Amino acid sequence: MKNQERRLFLVYSLNTVMNDFPRIRSSKPLFFSGRAEAEEVIHTFKDLYPFLYGGISQGERVYCLVLEEFELDLPYRYQLSTSVYSPEGFLLTDSMVPDDGPFCGRSEKSIHHEIGDVVELPFGDQLIFGIVVEKPMSLNEVAGTYGLTASDDCYTVIHHKTQEVNYAYAPMVFKPTREVAEEVREELLSAFNEMTKDKN
């Protein structure tokens, strides 16, 4: 077990900025030497930063809160875990897999999206819709002979409009917080059917 005193915890919010289409940006991170202190700030974030919880006229609102854990005393940035919370500070999901793994799969209850689900995800500075093509490996699946790492804890998602296929880090895939237009659903489903038709 690595020494807790040599860990760094970052807390930041991802905020939506509503213009012609929703954009998302990260707040400046807060730094902590212990998880308890970091989680306390997450639970009181609304009291500390009430201007990010106001009406839509404020222009920017908290989308989610993120807690990242890093190992110190290394010559490179080594991430140990990621936890994602609701704007109110409730844990939504996490990935406790270090950068170099091993990733042994997710428990069924921690796989929140099914194949064919329409989801929402930050992508660059945009908040986009997508459709799930593949889920992260579950604990009862065989990982094979090659070691899996944190980068394998992901959903395969088709993005709306571009129809680009991407691997989305599992904690950063969300149920839609906005209404999904019927035409968007139809376009995503059409792309999903086209991609998966050869698998059936």
Each residue's pLDDT tens digit, 46-105: 999 998 887 655 678 999 999 999 998 777 789 999 999 999 999 999 999 999 888 888
Return d(Cα 21, Cα 161) in angstroms, integer. Answer: 13
Q: Is pTM, for the whole model, over 0.85?
A: yes
66 with 107, same domain: the answer is: no
Enclosing domain of residue 173: 102-200
- The pLDDT of 159-171, averaged and rounded, is 95
91 with 108, same domain: the answer is: no
Of 96, 127, 153, which residue sits at a domain end?
96
| Structural domain total, the chain | 2
60 with 153, same domain: the answer is: no
Residue matched to tokens 């010559």: 75
Pairing of strands 126-134, 118-123: antiparallel
127 with 185, same domain: the answer is: yes
Return d(Cα 154, Cα 93) in angstroms, integer. Answer: 13
119-161: pLDDT as tens digits: 999 999 999 999 999 999 988 766 554 678 888 999 999 999 8
Of 56, 71, 96, which residue sits at a domain end?
96
Of 96, 126, 141, which residue sits at a domain end?
96
